[in-house]
Structure 1
Amino acid sequence: MSERVLSQRALADLAAVPARSRWVTSGQIRLHALDYGGDGVPLIVLPGITSPAIAMDFVARELTGPVRPVVLDVRGRGLSDDGPSYTLDDYAADTEAVITQLGLDGAVLLGHSMGARIAGLTAAKGRVALRGTVLVDPPMSGPGRGPYPTTLAAFQDQLRQARRGTDADEVARSWPRWPRREQELRARWLASCGDEAVAATHRGFESEDFFDFWPSVPAPTVLVYGADSPVVTAEGAREAARANVAARLVKVPDAGHMVFWDNPQVALEAVRDVLRDMV
């Protein structure tokens, strides 16, 4: 099992989150999610490769109302268990378990980066009833394609930094544009991400091809991407539009891959517009 650390200060962050913890099982894996409640359409939020559920709190808060956000700690991150494996099929099965066990049929899936891939595959499999999907800057790397822009070594360095102890100032050197609270949460929660969870997912970015399932993602589906993203390039966006003609593409200006963190106001307004159409 990989070394994962959660400090008391990190756990205390949960007290300030307007959501309650929910627990489901997927096989032998116990999964944790933050449920923001309300009477809106369920919105399953699936974070990125090194983002536990609390990292998406600022997104969930801004969307609550017409939707009921439920943010998943993806296996190997946050309060969820480690898994024996970390394939896209595993992650899709976990998402199906959340929907089924929490009674969230007719949900919208909203995923960022790794989470966008999970949302797309879950929808393409068609095993649960969904209202639609929003894929935010999904990695388009895969066999025969260019590598994922952030190397595994870079992610491993970030994990080591988090486990020896870091703070918002140090995080800001890598992510200077992020809101201060998000830098602080990154500093306290990154150590909850497991080494193998990150390594296996990174391998999957280059062995599991997004375009194998993207053409089968049913409408309504929207692909949101950063105008300056190295993950969804201009050519990648054009290929995505050709491969799934029913999809709508939305470009967020002045944003890279970390779309919500780079340009929060514009990115959130774009997603609110998309969700208004879906719900």
Structure 2
Amino acid sequence: MDVDNTKPKPDTVTLRWSYSPITYFEGPFRFKENNCCWEFFDGSATATINAKYPVNKSQIKNDLNKRIESIFNASLIYNHTPYKVSEPFMEGYDSKGNLWITPVPINLNLSVSGPNIVIKDSNGNAIEDMKGNRLRDIEEFAKLSIKYSGDPAAQAILRNYKSAVGEPNSEFCHFYAIREVLTTRFWSATKVRSCLNLKKDDWTKLGKLCNEIPVQQGRHQGQKYEQFRKATNVELEEARIIVKTMVKQFFNYLQNSESH
């Protein structure tokens, strides 16, 4: 996919951010939502909207900052990798056709993420492009995250998942908080599982991992200190898979509820 680095067009405003890791989306990533065109490539994020001069720069900046945060928080569900995003700079045209640009932010120190995996048949034809699939999934979930940015439960869930990624020593504490948000939203664990089509065994398993097993990442780090240990990779992966399913099912529930 070609990346558009041209000047902003008249009657548009463009915001640009730096982000790290620069390969966070594993390659060029572009999509549209509502009135905004988004593009992510090599540590640079761009959002372009239609807006005639004079524009409310502060309002546009605040709105798009919230949207890009929703996009990155949504992507955490798929790559479980911490990220950093700079403050944006903004550019557009005034009523005389003159280009205006706000101050450019300081660049970030950037790092690198993992490779793409493409599964091929015996003839070398791609059967499954994991990166392509992930980007499509991230796009759809990012749109839902933006759409439901005003839903308190939805945003509490994404905030807690972000905290789980950013604070790995307390990962299970934040996962349990997501479980509690859902229980509060639906009034009971039984109703959560019913509405989101979750398995009771998975719900119980997550509770044990977060609340009972004496691990560093869990909720009761001061109890059973003689047996205190780090969670195994298997335990971490089990918890993450369960929570990711819960999160995605909740956003799907919000969307499906609108059509009934």
TM-score interval, smaller chain: under 0.3
Give the greater-gyration-radius structure (CA): 2
| TM-score, L = length of structure 1 | 0.25
| TM-score, L = length of structure 2 | 0.27
